[in-house]
C-alpha cells in the first residue's frame, strides 16, 4: 500500500467544483500543471474534486505543452466564467480582467487572482462584488509571489496592530540593483543583462519605474491598516536614475541601494495617518535586506505585540506564484464544500494618507559644483536655512581649472540627518537656481538605521 497521500483513492462521492482558469502564460501554465499533477491530493485536502472546465487565452493555436490540453482552451472567457464555481485569474491587466471577475462573482463564483495592478487600481469594486454575492476573493499571489504575506497580514496578524511593513517586493529591480552592486555596471547594462537572462520583461517599465512595487504597497497598506489605500496614494519612484556612482558612493558609506516598499502608521498629535511609498534607498550593508540578492524578495513586518517578523523567498516566477494561487484555490474550494466565507475587506479605520512632503527622512544628495572657495559654505548654509543638518560630506575634484581658464568642477556627496521632505525639496529648488551648483545628480533617501 502506498503511504503517499496522492496514492489513496479519492472517493467518487466527493462533490466536484468547476474551475475556470483565465490565462495560460508563465503563471497559468504552472497552475494547470499543479492542478493536474496534484489533483488527488488537493481533493483530499479540500474534500472535493477540482475539475478544470476551460482555460481562456487569446491565441488558440499556440502549443502550450501537456498540462494545458488544447481541448480546454477557449477564447470565450465571458461564457467560461459564468459556468464556474471558482475562477483563477492569471491573465493580468485591468480589462477585460475586471469585467470578467465582476461577472464571475455575479454568477456565484469565488475568485483567486494574482492581478496586483487590478487590485491596486480598483480592489474596491472586487471587494464590493464579493460581499454583494457572498463569494470569496483571494489574492495571495498578487504580493511577493510564493511568499505568504497577504494571509499573515490579513489573518494571522488580525489580532495585532501592524506598525510598519518594509521590504523588497520586486524581483526584477532587485536583480538589477544587485548586479550593479556586484559588477559596477550601469543601470542600462544591468537591465540589458536581466532581459537577456529572462528576469526582466521586454517592456520593463512596470518594474523599473516602481509601478509593480507600488501596486503591492497599496495592497499591503490597505490590509495592514484596515483602510483603502489606492495606487494613487502611493508615492512611487523607480530605479532608472540610480547610477553606478550612487552605488559606489553608497558602498563608501557602508551602505547598499535597494528598491524599498514602505508602508507605515505615522502617529501624530490627535490621531494617526499612514504612508505608503516606494523608492530606491540606501540601507546599511549589515541590514538583513542588504543580503537579499538576485530576484529574491524579503519583507519585514513590525507589529505591536508580535514584534519584528521577516519573510523571504521567491517573489516571482511561474511555479512559485502558482504555489500561492493553489493555496488560495484550496481555501476558496474548502469554503464552497464545507461552508463559511473567507476574509472580507476590512476598512473600518479609514486612515488618511500623509503627503510625502510632511514625512521626515535622512537623505543622500549628490551635486556637481564649481570648485572655488565658499561653495561648500553656501551649500551648507542653504541646507541649514531649511533646518537640515549634515551628517557626512565627501568631496572629489572632477577636473582642474583648464589653461583657457575653464571652470574647475567638484563632486559633493552629502548625507543628512532626518529632515522634512518639503525642506529638502526647497533646498534642491535653491540649488537648481544657483550658479555654483552645476547639476543635482542624485537624491536618495537613507532607511533602516
Ligand atoms: P503572461 O505570461 O503574459 O500570461 C498571460 C496569459 O493571459 C496568456 O496566456 C494570455 O493569452 C492570457 N490573456 C491575456 N489577455 C487575455 C485576454 N484578453 N483574453 C484571454 N486571455 C488573455 O502573464 P503572467 O506572467 O503569467 O502573469 C499573469 C498574472 O499574474 C499578472 O496579473 C501578473 O501580474 C501576475 N503575477 C505574475 C508573476 C510572474 O512571475 N509572472 C508573479 C506574480 C503575479 P495568450 O497566451 O494567448 O497570449
Ligand atoms: N515583475 C514582478 C517582479 C513579478 O519582478 O517581482 C510579478 O509580481
At 270 the pLDDT is 87
Condensed to tens digits (0 to 9), the pLDDT of residues 205-246 reads 999 999 999 999 999 999 999 999 999 999 999 999 999 999
Atom of ligand 2 nearest to the CA of 297: 6
**Which of 92, 145, 295 to mutate to test ligand 1, by most ligand atoms within 8 A of the CB atom?**
92
Ligand 1 centre from 218 Cα, in Å?
Answer: 21
Mutate which of 21, 26, 174 to test ligand 1's pocket (most atoms within 8 Å of Cβ)? Answer: 26
| Rounded Cα–Cα distance for residues 300 and 448 (Å) | 11
Longest dimension (CA), the chain: 93
Fold (topology level) of 16-145+319-338: Rossmann fold (3.40.50)
Angle made by CA atoms 282, 284, 289, in degrees to the nearest 5: 85
The hierarchical CATH code for the domain 356-446 is 3.30.70.260
pLDDT at 401: 66
Spatial contact of 143 and 150, defined as CB atoms under 8 Å apart: yes
Give the pLDDT confidence score for residue 1 in this predicted structure.
Answer: 34
The DSSP result for 292-344, as a single string, is --TTEEEEEEEETTTEEEEEEEE-SSHHHHHHHHHHHHHHHHHHHHH------
The pLDDT of residue 449 is 86
Measured from the CA of 144, which atom of ligand 2 is nearest?
8
Domain 154-314: give its CATH superfamily. Answer: Dihydrodipicolinate Reductase; domain 2 (3.30.360.10)
Number of C-alpha atoms within 13 angstroms, CB side, residue 394? 13
Placement of cell 503511504 in the chain: 3
The C-alpha atoms of residue 158 and residue 226 are separated, in whole angstroms, by 10
**Which pLDDT score is estimated for 66?**
87
Confirm if 320 and 239 have CB atoms less than 8 A apart. no
CB 382 within 8 A of CB 344: no
Q: Which residues contact 42 (CB under 8 A, 6 or more apart)?
A: 35, 50, 326, 329, 330, 333
Look at residue 3 in the predicted model and tell me its pLDDT.
Answer: 41
Task: Determine if ligand 1 sits within 6 Å of the CB of residue 58.
Answer: yes
Atom of ligand 2 nearest to the CA of 145: 8
Q: Does the beta carbon of 448 lie inside 6 Å of ligand 2? A: no
Cα of 321 from ligand 2 centre, angstroms: 10
Q: Assess contact for 51 and 19: CB atoms under 8 A.
A: yes
CB 215, CB 230: distance < 8 Å: no
The whole-number pLDDT of residue 11 equals 84
Per-residue confidence (pLDDT) for residue 405, from 0 to 100:
61
Residues of the chain with pLDDT under 70: 1-7, 401-406
For residue 112, give the C-alpha cell. 483567486
Annotated catalytic residues are 216
Retrieve residue 429's grid coordinates: 529648488
- pLDDT for the residue 4: 46
pLDDT of residue 2: 35
Domain boundaries, the chain: 16-145+319-338, 154-314, 356-446
Amino acid at each position: 500500500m502506498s503511504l503517499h497521500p496522492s496514492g489513496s483513492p479519492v472517493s467518487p462521492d466527493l462533490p466536484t467544483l468547476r474551475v475556470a482558469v483565465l490565462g495560460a502564460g508563465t503563471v497559468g501554465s504552472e497552475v494547470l500543471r499543479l492542478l493536474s499533477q496534484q489533483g488527488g491530493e488537493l481533493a483530499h485536502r479540500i474534500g472535493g474534486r477540482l475539475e478544470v472546465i476551460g482555460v481562456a487565452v487569446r491565441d488558440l493555436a499556440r502549443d502550450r505543452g501537456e498540462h494545458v490540453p488544447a481541448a480546454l482552451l477557449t477564447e470565450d472567457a465571458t461564457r467560461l466564467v459564468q459556468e464556474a464555481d471558482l475562477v483563477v485569474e492569471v491573465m493580468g491587466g485591468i480589462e477585460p480582467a475586471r469585467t470578467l471577475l465582476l461577472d464571475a462573482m455575479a454568477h456565484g463564483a469565488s475568485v483567486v487572482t494574482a492581478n496586483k495592478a487590478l487590485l491596486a487600481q480598483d480592489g474596491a469594486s472586487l471587494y464590493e462584488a464579493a460581499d454583494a454575492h457572498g463569494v470569496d476573493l483571494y489574492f495571495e499571489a498578487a504580493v511577493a509571489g510564493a511568499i505568504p504575506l497577504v494571509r499573515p497580514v490579513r489573518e494571522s496578524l488580525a489580532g495585532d496592530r501592524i506598525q510598519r511593513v518594509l521590504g523588497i517586493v520586486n524581483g526584477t529591480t532587485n536583480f538589477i540593483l544587485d548586479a550593479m552592486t556586484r559588477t559596477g555596471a550601469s543601470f542600462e547594462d544591468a537591465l540589458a543583462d536581466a532581459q537577456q537572462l529572462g528576469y526582466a520583461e521586454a517592456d520593463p517599465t512596470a518594474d523599473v519605474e516602481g509601478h509593480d512595487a507600488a501596486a503591492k504597497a497599496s495592497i499591503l497598506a490597505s490590509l495592514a491598516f484596515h483602510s483603502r489605500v489606492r495606487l494613487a496614494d502611493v508615492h512611487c519612484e523607480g530605479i532608472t536614475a540610480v547610477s553606478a556612482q550612487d552605488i559606489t558612493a553608497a558602498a563608501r558609506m557602508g551602505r547598499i541601494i535597494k528598491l524599498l516598499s514602505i508602508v507605515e502608521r505615522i502617529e501624530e498629535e490627535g490621531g494617526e495617518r499612514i504612508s505608503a511609498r516606494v523608492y530606491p534607498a540606501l540601507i546599511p550593508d549589515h541590514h538583513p535586506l542588504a543580503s537579499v540578492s538576485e530576484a529574491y524578495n524579503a519583507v519585514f513586518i513590525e507589529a505591536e505585540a508580535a514584534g519584528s517578523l521577516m519573510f523571504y523567498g521567491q517573489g516571482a516566477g511561474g511555479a512559485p506564484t502558482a504555489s500561492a494561487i493553489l493555496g488560495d484555490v484550496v481555501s476558496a474550494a474548502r469554503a464552497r464544500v464545507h461552508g463559511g466565507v473567507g476574509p472580507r475587506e476590512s476598512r473600518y479605520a479609514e486612515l488618511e494618507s500623509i503627503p510625502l512632503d510632511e514625512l521626515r527622512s535622512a537623505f543622500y544628495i549628490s551635486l556637481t559644483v564649481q570648485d572655488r572657495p565658499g561653495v561648500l559654505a553656501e551649500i551648507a548654509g542653504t541646507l541649514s536655512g531649511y533646518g537640515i543638518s549634515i551628517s557626512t560630506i565627501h568631496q572629489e575634484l572632477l577636473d582642474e581649472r583648464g589653461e583657457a581658464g575653464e571652470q574647475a568642477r567638484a563632486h559633493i556627496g552629502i548625507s543628512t540627518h532626518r529632515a522634512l521632505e518639503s525642506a529638502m525639496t526647497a533646498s534642491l529648488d535653491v540649488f537648481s537656481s544657483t550658479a555654483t551648483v552645476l547639476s543635482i545628480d542624485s537624491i536618495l533617501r537613507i532607511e533602516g538605521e
